[in-house]
Amino acid sequence: MSSGNVLEMRQLFAGYGSGGDILRGVDLQIEEGDFMCLIGPNGAGKSTLLRTISGLVKPRQGSIQFRGQEIGGLRPDRVFRLGLAHVPQGRSTFPDMSVWENVLMGAYTLHDRRIRQERLEQACAMFPIVERQRNKVAGLLSGGEQKQVEMARATMTGARMILLDEPTLGLEPRASRTVVEKMQELNASGVTILLVEQNARTGLAASRTGCVMELGRIKLQGHGPTLLQDPEVKRLYLGQGGTMTAPRPPTGQVVA
Amino acid sequence: MTGAAALQRWWPWVPLLVLVLLPVGIRETFYLDLLMTTFMYAAITLGWDIMGGYAGYVSLGTVGFYGLGSYAGALLLLRFNIPVFVSAPFIGVLCSLVGAGLGWIALRTRAAAFVIVTLTFTSIVQLLALNLKGLTNGSSGLYMPLLTLPNNLILLPFYYYMLALLVFAYFVSRAIRGSKFGLGLIAIREEEEKAEGLGVDTSLYKILAFAISVFFACVAGALRAQYLNYVDPDIAFDLFITLSPIVMALVGGRGTLIGPLLGAFLVQPLSQYLVFLLPSSVAGQLHLVALGVVLLLVVLFMPDGIVNAYRSARAGGSGWRGRRQTAPPAEAAP
């Protein structure tokens, strides 16, 4: 609709193989520079939505526009080249490659050495771990460190938008706090972020806007911290509508 | 400091120099023949490892290309009078094209199908050699004229040609390992879908890697045919030539530059030495058994080969196998 939206989905349907639809008419707009957190119960289609956007799953119906261009059904590498990176669930580093090689893989389609060098420096500045552990084999890093390497890799194409699928899953609290901070730093540097999070409280508190997905559709959408106060969200995703500790306000935005 | 740096830079040339000068001192055919076959296997193994080690696609088609090279060399000599020493590189290129074609068919699918197709390819080429009697003389084979050289020198051109092939294979492998192409191949080995997602043209890369990888087996086959002055379907398509490079790469370390070299220089002399040592009535079988035992020991205690085991011991890690085990299962669909 307006040029302020970096990503727009209309009546999006998708599913796997010959199975039924997982996404059943998703309508969602994400503004440039937003940090949106997507929550919802298991099986709501959150991961499928990210996989459909990044081209791993082909949409059956509807449209996905990234910066005004239709990307529904494009191959994953095409979508990636357009500046939309996907950090999937679990660990997705190349475990036998060094940290440095992993980050370089993000610049695979980049042929301009100068730009590549620039991006490498930016990535190192935001993710010091890349420089510190550059020759270490990525598979030997801890989960949180690997997530940071993946995020650094995602920035290498100069991605305007990054999709993150439960990046804090299985991380110890301190590592997950670092990952959340890194997401906010990335966002502060101008990258639009769409985050899928099981832990609704952490996710909504860290983000600017939030939306709730249920049975393949977007059910609620709004300001992140406000959604935290929504009685229904409270009841469904935060466990009980009773008293709860006030959410931590978004941590101060660190400028990279 | 500069001494150490110079040493670092130049040490690979020392063994090469020794190998170049060796025939001056050693005249015994047994040792020169042994070294020559070792060079041959090392070159084939380096080639195999480009596909099997870097990209992680195990080919069982090595001897198919080797045999193709043998027959091509023999036929070009007999029909068109082109010496094998001249035709060998061109035969290699030609076989690379055949490899690209086969790759185009086999590599659009993933792992397992590729193995089967390469094995089938070997059988098909062997059947053709056996049955196209007008061209290949069937099971009687083709005799090639001897080189016109004195008996004690006849081995030398083969020795140096194979050594050159080995050096070439080494540099090709090294160039690939240090390039973006090589990084792409390793990404394919680690996770093909992800590599594709990052913009690696996986189909093209696999086909290219396979085409390059079979070049060395073909050239070696052509040279070997001339060396033996004879080809027939049994010699040219001996399955041993498919299996040895795999054993060598596994022993030395798959996916490394030095591993295939190390493996070939350990396994081939060992296996030849056993043939020499054992009574001739059992030698032909027993050295194969010994090779099997070596393979078993390696798989049990050093599944990633000598080079990788050494590296992870130095890094204090648990080696490839350990890391693989800690890797999480593939992401589940929601």
Q: DSSP string spanning A45-83?
A: SHHHHHHHHTTSS-EEEEEEEETTEE-TT--HHHHHHTT
* B315 with A92: Cβ contact below 8 A: no
**Stretch A198-217: mean pLDDT:** 86
| 3-state class (DSSP) for residue B215 | helix
More confident residue, A246 or A5: A5
**Stretch B298-325: mean pLDDT:** 66
Q: Which of A227-231, B55-59, B61-65, B169-173 has the lowest mean pLDDT?
A: A227-231
CB-CB neighbors (< 8 A) of B194 in chain A:
92, 94
pLDDT at residue B110, as a whole number? 66
Over 50: is that where the pLDDT of A256 sits? no
Nearest chain B residue to A110 by CA: give it.
Answer: B199
Is the Cβ of B284 closer than 8 Å to some Cβ of chain A? no
> Residue A108: which of B198, B320, B324 has the nearest Cβ?
B198
Q: Which of A151-160, B18-27, B236-245, B255-264 has the lowest mean pLDDT?
A: B18-27
Q: Of B103, B331, B237, give the one whose Cα is nearest residue A50.
A: B331
pLDDT at residue B283, as a whole number? 63
Q: Of B51, B188, B36, B61, give the one whose Cα is nearest residue B115.
A: B61
CB-CB neighbors (< 8 A) of A88 in chain B:
331
pLDDT band at B284 (very low <50, low <70, confident <90, very high): low
Mean pLDDT of chain A: 84
pLDDT at residue B279, as a whole number? 72
Count of beta carbons in the 10 Å neighbourhood of residue B134: 7
Number of A/B CB contacts below 8 angstroms equals 87
Q: Which of A176-190, B192-206, B266-280 has the lowest mean pLDDT?
A: B266-280
Over 90: is that where the pLDDT of B85 sits? yes
Query: Which token pair is A77?
Result: 């590498």
Cβ burial of A116 (10 Å; 0-12, 13-18, 19+) is middle
Residues of A with CB under 8 A from a CB of B: 16, 22, 42-48, 54-56, 75-77, 80-81, 86, 88-92, 94-97, 101, 104-106, 108-109, 137, 139-140, 153, 165
pLDDT at residue A73, as a whole number? 84
Rounded to a whole number of angstroms, the distance between the first and last alpha carbons of chain A is 31
CB-CB neighbors (< 8 A) of A89 in chain B:
331-332
**Stretch B213-242: mean pLDDT:** 92
Query: Which token pair is B86?
Result: 């001249």
pLDDT band at B23 (very low <50, low <70, confident <90, very high): confident
pLDDT band at B327 (very low <50, low <70, confident <90, very high): very low
**Stretch A127-155: mean pLDDT:** 88
Over 90: is that where the pLDDT of A175 sits? no
Nearest chain A residue to B325 by CA: give it.
Answer: A139
pLDDT at residue B318, as a whole number? 42
Judge contact between B198 and A108, C-beta under 8 A: yes
Over 80: is that where the pLDDT of B291 sits? no
Judge contact between A175 and A144, C-beta under 8 A: yes
pLDDT at residue B1, as a whole number? 52
pLDDT at residue A242, as a whole number? 43
* A95 with B190: Cβ contact below 8 A: yes
Task: For residue B56, report the phi and psi dihedrals to the nearest 5 degrees.
Answer: 80, 20
Is the Cβ of B238 closer than 8 Å to some Cβ of chain A? no
Over 80: is that where the pLDDT of A83 sits? yes
pLDDT band at B35 (very low <50, low <70, confident <90, very high): very high
Over 80: is that where the pLDDT of B332 sits? no
pLDDT at residue A3, as a whole number? 52
Residue ranges in chain A assigned as alpha helix (H): 46-53, 76-81, 99-105, 113-126, 128-132, 143-155, 173-188, 200-206, 224-227, 231-237
Helices then strands, counting H and E runs in chain A, come out as 10, 10
Over 90: is that where the pLDDT of A169 sits? no
CB-CB neighbors (< 8 A) of A45 in chain B:
334
pLDDT at residue B90, as a whole number? 96
The sign of the dihedral angle between the CA atoms of B60, B62, B65, B71 is negative
The ipTM assigned to this model is 0.72
More confident residue, A78 or B64: B64
